[in-house]
Structure 1
Amino acid sequence: MTDELQPVAPTATSIPDGELRAVADGTHSGPHAILGQHLQGDGRTVIRARRPLAERVTAVLTSSGERVELHHLAHGIWQGAHGHGLDDYEIETVYTDGVPHTVDDPYRFLPVVGEVDQFLFGEGRHERLWHVFGAHHREHWGTHAPVRGTSFVVWAPHAQAVRVIGSFNGWDGRAHAMRRLDALGIWELFVPGVSPHETYKFQIRTASGEWVEKADPLALHAEQPPQTASVIANPSTYEWGDGDWMSARAQKDPHTGPMTTYELHAMSWRPGLGYRELADQLVEYLDGLEFTHVEFMPLAEHPFGGSWGYQVTGYYAPTSRLGSPDDLRYLIDRLHQAGYGVIMDWVPGHFPKDSFGLAEFDGQALYEHADPRLGEQLDWGTKVFNFGDSQVRNFLVANALYWLEEFHIDGLRVDAVASILYLDYSREEWVPNIHGGRENLEAIAFLQEVNATAYKLYPGIAMIAEESTSWAGVTKPTEWGGLGFGLKWNMGWMNDSLRYVERDPIYRSHHQGDLTFSFVYAWSERFLLPISHDEVVHGKGSLYSKMPGDEWQKLAGTRLFLAYQWGHPGKQLLFMGQEFAQQTEWSESRGLDWWQLDNPGHAGVQRLVGDLNRLAKNEGALWQRDDDPAGMVWLSGDDAANSVLAFARRGFDGSPDVAMIFNFSNQVISGYRLGLPHAGRWSEVLNTDAESYAGSGAGNYGSVTTEETPSHGFTQSATVTVPPLAAVWFKYEG
């Protein structure tokens, strides 16, 4: 580094005693101005170091080995000078034990944060924020040579002082006070010799003079809960093997292809597995089920396991419950190499109030809005991000990009979007926007920014909204005024269809509208049909237990419902355990009831799910025109008396139609005349009552052939048999 870059240091006599005391106490906002090495106006170089209780302090110059004796100024601050210009050096300290202790000096280094980084963060546009902020084990240049150590960078604009505390300094931060770089509130310190796996926090002096201890908001690793410290992560050495997957992904549009998703909670799928063990066992299990994607409930660090990951404290730290960040990379890599896309739940709407986390980070509202009518989420006892703050928005947008970049995630499912969009969401007291409305304009701009940026940088990914209202334009492009998501969870379909199937079959004829209403708006957005964790927990019961009747009827009803879900326009998502009709509802405190697969009925449901997924992949009619009303034609939508629903799915030219008939009654329907859109043979490609699924085996002997008998508005029709609580699909063969 050139001499011109170094500030001229104050002389010993010009340093006020109060400043020396502040440096000694670690309460100075610019300790580098006092400590470290500085060129004097007389051409000499002065070195100052903080060494309380020392007997003797010496600076040892690296290039010459010259020893520069330092003399005590006050309050444990020592000073000495030499005439050889700037140099690398170490500080040798002798205490009362007489044993020399030699360490490098963190205060001899220039900032690790450059002007470009400061500018981009100031503008709220630093798309690689995790490369700069947080803790990074790295090389950093001194005067003549690089040194390995760890850089610490944190944003705390309201702080009077910030110190790094950790396992490497006995959790005493007075020796590692950080310097404030700018008015924006970026604090930094490079500590030579500090290695990965050390734990640390930031000790922040608030505007009121109190000290608070906070985990690093951009830590890349964290201690296992209930411990709360951040961990200096090893720089990743993982070598990805999914190059073919990533190249192919960039050429595809996931919104217009088949997408069937298996949602799971990584900690309770098979308890006790780490990321690497989960990778091997999950891939082996999925290979018989043919899902296209896996969706993990949040994998970012969270203190309370019972939140399932939806109350995040470490937005950039994969949960250490299952291993290291590179272990997670292995899990995703294995899934990619086996042909499965990976989606992760992402929670940018709110965060918990844990004292070590983001809440009142530097002593007052920073990441959250200061007004509790905007900054509190009362339903969940959490804080709400201040989406109108450029730096907060930058933190969140960069976090989305972090998961897509560093872990090759193929999509983010954004949690609780409705709570972000509406200022009056679950609030009695709320603040209208500048136009007097209830829409959160800052949050809308944030969602548009994160979606547009993610799609621009990572072609082939999917941004998915869990949005539970009728907000218009969730999946409309941002340039057309939409939110810019690729898919939206169809919560209306989920609520209506579950309410329908929970009724006893004898009453279903009076509620046909619960089944047909979703088709009124099925093409207003690009929809994904979810049966998620939220529907099989907290007393709601499993999908199996929602079905009325005895065991046979429950299994048959589950098979029928799944066929209806896979046949309905839209993508599909199914939560773990429902693919084999687990009888009990899910609990994160225990694993799935895998033993139920020994029962032929439950194994049959699992076999059906695999066949549904294979059909979904192979039959273009099931996905090519998901968001186009021309992709579906009604065959029978008004036969409420028989609790029958029938329609045909159609793709583009060359993709044969698939006709589907669903019997939600508990009576067999024989000789049912069904109008069909084409004359000829229709092969039976799915029958949920097949013996292979542990059904009774009733059906249509493999196919039906149309006759010139008008029915349901068609000139051609066929008579079909539909078993009770069953679905039968026919593919047009010509």
Structure 2
Amino acid sequence: MTRDLWRDLGAHASPDGVDFAVWAPNARRVQVVGDHSGWSGDGVDAARGDDGVWRLHVPGIGDGALYKYAVEGADGVWREKADPFAAWAEVPPSTASRVFTSAYDWTDQAWMRRRAQAQPWAEPMSTYEVHLGSWLEGRSYRDLATELVDYVARQGFTHVELMPVMEHPFGGSWGYQVTGYYAPTSRYGSPDDFRALVDAFHAEGIGVILDWVPAHFPRDEWALARFDGTPLYEHPDPRRGEHPDWGTYTFDLTKGEVREFLLANAFYWLEEFHIDGLRVDAVASMLYLDYSRGPGGWVPNIHGGNIDLEAVSFFQELNRACYGRFPGISMIAEESTAFDGVTRGAEHDGLGFGFKWNLGWMHDTLGYVAVDPVFRSHDHHRLTFAMMYHHAENFILPLSHDEVVHGKGSLLGKMPGEGDDRLAHLRTLLGYQWSHPGKQLLFMGGEIAQDREWSQERSLDWHLLDHPGHAGMQRLVADLNAAYTQNPALWADDHDPSGFAWIEADDTDSNVLTFARRGGGRTVVVAVNMSGVTWDAYRLGVPAAGTWQCVLSTDQAEYGGWGATQRGDTVTTDDEPLHGQPCSAVLRLPALSVTWWEIAGA
């Protein structure tokens, strides 16, 4: 088997029919059933090879034909199974596979050439996370190629991250329970329609990241589960093969064929759909043998420990292979523990990812902002702690869909106070996120201060933009992105300790944090006022003498703020050293605001 496994297995149209190939080494018989045969196998068996792959040529059919494999399992039971390598499927809840050959003509050659030279860790990355079905209801891939792409471009995001587009039967899983690993969901159109969406993003200079789910798969009897009457894709020991949290099966990474299925699948999306990166879901659940398992519910590794050594080697192989063949992409781990070396190279015993979601930063920050400003001095360390470990990994700072579901409410709903105060809190949170070292990710709706908890059953509440405060939030996010991408101080040295320095980290009484960001020969001083009080004469040490200009303020009137400090305001330093800096200046720090300052004319 090869890393381009999809080119051999699955269904492939030929001039006089379709060639089918499926791996089912323990099956007794395999037939192809479909609309061509009235869903009867007609007694024609596929031929089994020594590699456990069954092959059959069916004449007289072609692209668009619906089919399944009828598999007589090792247990003597016949089951109709969707093709694990199907390139397309029926629209759920129907479950048949569909023969498909791409005819798409890509136009993103310039993008792909530039990407091959990219160094994502040293470039701006501001990501808009999207669930395609509920950004705006009723849209197809082709509709989104205009509407969503135009919107993301206007908002200034550099990347979009799509929640799983791989085929899945239950919409309420948001795509995280995959039944068709090689098929973009047919809910929104054909695979070539999805290619057109990716191509349109690239035309606007926007990278596309896909959520990818190798951690588990659902038990639906027509899909991967017990495919040939045995635990084929899943581990046979339920202590390793069943996930207690999600009621799903987990892949058996001790089998070379299963590893190749997943490795080839990563290659498939990067190769066939020009995807710019994979965000790998639930990495921690794969790394730890005792993840969500109590005593007696897990099996130690050969050293007696709780680390899944096969998963470690799988991730190392995955990242080595993907970066080797697709330079310039981003491999991103959703990993929620302190596992050492997630973004360290495999050659140095790391997992080899390019980025890791900083879920610690997310939990600490949301915990802090939920506290009334009157009491925040007691929680100040929640904002400073992330810099104690920031340079251990290459981080993305996520405010993702996970924080606005399952009764957690919206981002706006987490903010204390009412009305304009809540909006000011959210503006401050986003301003702080864009200021902090690490790339940022925001789930759709956060940029318009969505008030209701997100649901996949309905569109975002776009009518909120009729309210000036919500429209102002949208303008703020666009301006944050513009100011961020244009200033290398905020991203060029994210991965290097030289890119960040505290000015004053311990002003707990004022609820103020100040720090400098450096990169590309520029310096930005960031002042974060998390209190409900405007500090009219806040003396701050700065790293250079001269006139400093406010280049961004979340308190701008057009954002819904009070305008106490606005973009373009200037202050001049004096010779009084402070905060370990050679000079200082007196700033006005508006209540609940973030301001960015740079030497005038920089």
TM-score over 0.5 (shorter chain): yes
Paired amino acid for 2:376 = R
1:679 corresponds, among 542, 545, 552, to: 545
Q: After superposition, what is the alpha-carbon deviation per residue over 1:96-135, rounded to whole angstroms, capped at 9, x for unaligned?
A: xxxxxxxxxxxxxxxxxxxxxxxxx2xxxx1110001001
1:419 to 274, 281, 285: 285
How big is the shift at 1:479?
1.3
Paired AA for residue 319 in structure 1: T
The alpha carbon displacement at 1:176 in A equals 2.9
Identify the residue that residue 459 of structure 2 maps to in structure 1.
591
1:467 correspondence with 2:335: yes
Return the alpha-carbon distance in structure 1 between the equivalents of residues 166 and 79 of structure 2. 23
Partner residue, 1:211: 78
Q: Find out whether 1:386 has 2:262 as its counterpart.
A: no
1:732 Cα offset (Å)? 2.1
TM-score, length basis structure 1: 0.81
How far has the Cα of 1:287 moved from its partner?
Answer: 2.6
Residue 346 of structure 1 and its aligned partner are, at CA, apart by: 0.2
> Which residues of structure 1 form unaligned runs of 5+?
1-120, 140-147
Matched, 1:643 2:511: yes
Task: Tell me the residue number matched to 1:14.
Answer: none
C-alpha separation in 2, matches of 1:616 and 1:127: 38
Residues 662-687 of structure 1, C-alpha deviations (whole Å, 9 max, x = no match): 11111111100000111111110011
Aligned equivalent of 1:370, options 224, 231, 236: 236
Of 286, 293, 299 in structure 1, the residue corresponding to residue 159 of structure 2 is 293
Q: State yes or no: 1:616 paired with 2:492.
A: no
Rounded Cα–Cα distance in structure 2 between residues aligned with 1:128 and 1:286 = 32
Any residues of structure 2 matched to 1:8-157 within 5 Å, and which? Answer: 121=1, 126-139=2-15, 148-157=16-25
Matched, 1:538 2:406: yes
Q: Distance in 1 between matches of 2:430 and 2:446?
A: 9
Whole-Å separation in 2 of the counterparts to 1:336 and 1:207: 47
Give the C-alpha shift of residue 699 in structure 1: 1.3
Amino acid at match of 1:219: A
Once the two structures are TM-superposed, the CA of residue 181 in structure 1 deviates from its matched residue by 1.0
* Offset at residue 189 of structure 1 (A): 0.4
C-alpha distance in structure 2 between counterparts of 1:630 and 1:345, whole Å: 32
1:716 correspondence with 2:592: no
Instruction: Specify the code of the residue in structure 1 equivalent to 2:82.
Output: A
CA–CA separation in structure 2 for the residues paired with 1:500 and 1:685:
26
- Give, in angstroms, the shift of residue 624 of structure 1: 0.9
d(CA) in 2 for partners of 1:499, 1:190: 59
Q: Kindly provide the CA deviation profile for residues 55-81 of structure 1, in whole angstroms up to 9, marking residues without a partner as x.
A: xxxxxxxxxxxxxxxxxxxxxxxxxxx
The 1-side partners of 2:122 and 2:301 are apart by 36
Does 2:92 align with 1:225? yes
- Which AA in structure 1 matches 2:19? S
Q: Distance in 1 between matches of 2:58 and 2:224?
A: 24
Distance 2:489 2:585 in 1: 21
Q: Which residue of 1 aligns with 2:174?
A: 308
- Alignment partners' CA distance in 2, 1:397 and 1:176: 32
2:195 — aligned with what? 329
2:142 is equivalent to residue 276 of structure 1 = yes
Pair 1:577-2:445 in alignment: yes
Where do residues 492-641 of structure 1 align in structure 2 (5 Å cutoff)? 492-641=360-509
Q: SS state of the match for residue 727, structure 1?
A: strand
- 8 Å Cα contact 2:141-2:197 kept in structure 1: yes
TM-superposed CA distance for 1:715, in Å, is 2.4
What residue is the counterpart of 2:69 in the other structure?
Answer: 202
Give 1:132's aligned amino acid.
Answer: D
Matched, 1:168 2:44: no
CA distance in structure 2 between the aligned counterparts of 1:212 and 1:237, rounded to whole angstroms: 33
2:559 is aligned to 693
The answer on whether the counterparts of 1:512 and 1:643 sit within 8 Å (CA) in structure 2 is yes
Q: Secondary structure at the match of 2:145?
A: helix
- Alignment partner, residue 523 of structure 2: 657
TM-score scaled to structure 2, two decimals? 0.98
Q: d(CA) in 2 for partners of 1:657 and 1:321? A: 47
| Structure 2 counterpart SS, 1:173 | coil
Match of 1:263 in 2: 129
Query: Which residue of the partner structure matches residue 318 of structure 2?
Result: 450
Task: Give the structure with higher Rg (CA).
Answer: 1
Q: Distance in 1 between matches of 2:371 and 2:407?
A: 17
Query: Partners of 1:715 and 1:393 in 2: how far apart?
Result: 57
* Cross-structure match for 1:732: 599
Counterpart CA distance in 1 for 2:204 and 2:216 is 34
Aligned position for 1:71: none
After superposition, give the CA deviation of every residue in 1:80-99 in whole Å (9 maximum; x if it has no partner).
xxxxxxxxxxxxxxxxxxxx
Partner AA of 2:33 in structure 1: I
User: What residue in structure 2 maps to residue 238 of structure 1?
Assistant: 104
Q: Give the match's secondary structure for 2:392.
A: coil
Cα separation, 2, equivalents of 1:638 and 1:418: 33
Task: Letter of the 1:649 partner, please give it.
Answer: R
Deviation of residue 694 (structure 1)? 1.5
Deviation at 1:174, TM superposition (A): 3.1
Residues 615-659 of structure 1: per-residue CA shift (max 9 Å, x gap): 11111110111011111111110000111111010114xx22000
Alignment match, 1:73: none
2:313 and 2:27 map into 1 onto residues whose CA distance is 29
CA contact (8 A) 2:121 2:495 kept: no
- Between 1 and 2, higher relative CO (CA 8 Å, sep ≥ 6) is seen in 2
Q: In the TM superposition, what whole-angstrom CA distance separates every residue of 1:209-235 from its partner, at most 9, and x where no partner exists?
A: 1111110000000011110111111x1
> 1:18-54: per-residue Cα shift (whole Å, max 9, x none)?
xxxxxxxxxxxxxxxxxxxxxxxxxxxxxxxxxxxxx
Matched, 1:342 2:205: no
The answer on whether the counterparts of 1:165 and 1:176 sit within 8 Å (CA) in structure 2 is no
Report the CA distance between 1:711 and its aligned residue: 1.4
Among 26, 31, 53, the alignment partner of 1:186 is 53
Q: Deviations over 1:507-566 (max 9, x none)?
A: 101110110000100111000000000001111111111100111111111110001000
- Residues 121 and 494 in structure 2, CA contact (< 8 A), matched pair in contact too: no
> SS where residue 160 of structure 2 aligns?
strand
1:177 alignment partner, one of 45, 48, 58: 45
1:480 aligns with 2:356: no
How large is the RMSD of aligned CA atoms in angstroms?
0.9
The reply to whether residue 490 of structure 1 matches residue 358 of structure 2 is yes
Deviations 1:241-299 (A, max 9, x none): 11111111111111210000000000111010010001100122123211000110000
Structure 2 distance, partners of 1:553, 1:492, is 26
Which residue of structure 2 aligns with residue 13 of structure 1? none
Mapped to 2, the partners of 1:680 and 1:394 lie a distance apart of 60
Q: One-letter code of the match for 2:411?
A: L
Whether contact under 8 Å (2:14, 2:62) holds in the other structure is: no
Q: Distance in 1 between matches of 2:571 and 2:390?
A: 29
Alignment coverage as a number of residue pairs: 598
Structure 2 unaligned blocks of 5 or more: none
Task: Look up the SS of the partner of 1:329 in the other structure.
Answer: helix
CA distance in 2, matches of 1:210, 1:463: 41
Which residue of structure 2 lines up, in the alignment, with residue 433 of structure 1?
301
**AA paired with 2:483?**
L
Shift of 1:713: 1.7
